[in-house]
Structure 1
């Protein structure tokens, strides 16, 4: 299903479908950002060339918290996050957002 574009305060919401991943505990899994699925007309290289930064969030109850990639088990690689060894606590909803890089 193709999402409807909605622009508010300079933000565009592509309303992308959810993708469900099933993995056994201890196994690796790669989660690709839905913004770069083939039916959307952009790719990671185009986004970074346009000075956009990809930020990942994990749903924690009623809030979303940005993911800090500081360990060996979880890493960000281009348009994806890698769980080198998925664990039960990794279960949840993940969101990827493109944000404009602000110059200082």
Structure 2
């Protein structure tokens, strides 16, 4: 059953949002995955770095800075991925093909 989380995240027949939801649900019964989204998002992003993205307090804060609300209600991770898709759809052409986990922040001295 554990393998179904990463499998769902990689399944390109599902939208990113649906893959995130199915993957998160498959992991939710495991110890350490029952509350919060950071650990599950990390596992799913490791499994599908071109489709998923890590969600943590910094990601939540970044969305808030952009005035993009994201409630703490159940299903937050799939809504987070949906917000990323919305941002990408509205972005200029070169950015639309960006994969969430491929961006690396610049080094700071």
Q: TM-score normalised by the shorter chain: which range applies?
A: 0.3 to 0.5
TM-score (norm 1): 0.34
Where relative contact order (Cα < 8 A, 6+ residues apart) is larger, the structure is 1
Q: TM-score, normalised by structure 2?
A: 0.33
Larger radius of gyration: 1
Higher fraction of strand? 1
